[in-house]
Amino acid sequence: MQSDSASMGFRCLGFLLLLFLTQANASVGHYSTSLQNEFSVSWAADHVNFLRGGQELQLKLDQNSGSGFTSKKKYLFGNISMQIKLVPGDSAGTVTAYYLSSEGVNHDELDFEFLGNKSGEPYVLQTNVYASGKGDREQRIYLWFDPTKDFHSYGVLWTPQHILFMVDGVPIRVFKNNKAVGVPYPESQAMGVYSSLWNGDSWATQGGLVKIDWSHAPFVAAYRNFQAHNSFNERYQTDMLSPAEKKKLWWVKKNYMIYDYCNDKQRYPVPPPECTINL
């Protein structure tokens, strides 16, 4: 009887351990989305590699070419994210762009642009919002981790009420629907997902003062675990951030923001109307 009880106990313990490991794998390390099914090469196929059965994708930049890919589907609203590991070492002058965009002159676009750096210096992440062809809404932050050591998640939660830019689940920017005060908002054009790795040394690092050192080429950025969901928490449809999310957003702004177009008086002596409206 005691032997049977012990055996059952060990079986239960083993099942719980398996369940724990399965859940941990699903939440942290598991990524089953085949990027080959989701994306096609848009630029320089010989500089794009699919690895791990299509679960990982790499873009390469060298003196001959950069490279890029685009999604096979387009999206109108949703929660869209990708895990990216950026170019390591001396990446000065390189730009890794990851963005959503529609087509045409009056296009909509939501940008993540990772601006390369000299070894040991922090990456700069620039975000921008285009609506009906109008952009010039840049914000720049330093990342609070080394984005070259491991994969990190970068995504947008795009609803009819607002656009929330997120890094590893931390809100870094909110762009609200302020059509009521004449501010265009992306809401009618479906957007594809794009990424490219290219030579931006005319402007990307210290305003173009630091150029690419081609002796470090090829430069490689890696991607995995693409997620696109049309559903999102109902409270986001009412344009509400939780107190914890607001606290995280202000933490980023206070400690890591280095440029905000809303505060650029040289460009905008009169602040754009969306800049005068509180969260």
Instruction: Give the amino acid at 162.
Output: H
Q: Which two tokens stand for residue 229?
A: 């969901």
pLDDT at 13: 39
Q: pLDDT, tens digit, for every residue of 243-254?
A: 999 999 999 999
Give the Cβ contact number of residue 268 at 10 Å.
13
Q: Which two tokens stand for residue 127?
A: 């975000």
Compute the distance between CA of residue 77 and CA of residue 271 in angstroms, rounded to an integer: 28
pLDDT at 276: 87
pLDDT at 277: 81
pLDDT at 24: 35
165 pairs with which residues across the strands?
Answer: 156, 173
Catalytic: 109? yes
Angle at 20 between CA 230 and CA 51, to 5 degrees: 60
| pLDDT tier for residue 233 given thresholds of 50, 70 and 90 | low
| pLDDT tier for residue 235 given thresholds of 50, 70 and 90 | low
What's the full length of the chain, in residues?
279
| pLDDT tier for residue 241 given thresholds of 50, 70 and 90 | confident
Pairing of strands 67-75, 78-85: unpaired
Q: Percent of the chain beyond pLDDT 90? A: 75
Q: Which two tokens stand for residue 95?
A: 């730009």
Contact 94, 77 (CB under 8 A): no
- pLDDT score of 42 more than 50: yes
pLDDT at 77: 94
> What's the mean pLDDT in 68-72?
97
Contact 153, 83 (CB under 8 A): yes
> What's the mean pLDDT in 174-193?
95
Q: Percent of the chain beyond pLDDT 70? A: 84
Mean pLDDT of the chain: 87
The DSSP annotation for 62-103 comes to -SS--EEEEEEEEESSEEEEEEEEPPPS--TTEEEEEEEE--
- pLDDT score of 80 more than 90: yes
Question: Given 109, 187, 245, 274, which residue is catalytic?
Answer: 109
3-state DSSP call for residue 265? coil
| pLDDT tier for residue 68 given thresholds of 50, 70 and 90 | very high
Q: Which sequence spans correspond to the domains of the chain?
A: 32-276
pLDDT at 87: 96
Compute the distance between CA of residue 135 and CA of residue 109 in angstroms, rounded to an integer: 8
- pLDDT score of 40 more than 70: yes
Q: What are phi and psi of 127, to 5 degrees?
A: -110, 155
- pLDDT score of 188 more than 60: yes
What top-level class would CATH report for the domain 32-276?
mainly beta
Compute the distance between CA of residue 258 and CA of residue 276 in angstroms, rounded to an integer: 19
Longest dimension (CA), the chain: 84
Question: Given 113, 121, 138, 245, which residue is catalytic?
Answer: 113
Q: pLDDT, tens digit, for every residue of 136-171?
A: 999 999 999 999 999 999 999 999 999 999 999 999
Smallest CA-to-CA distance from 100 within 125, 114, 80 is with: 80
Phi/psi region, residue 205 (left: phi>0; alpha: psi -120 to 50; beta: rest), is: beta
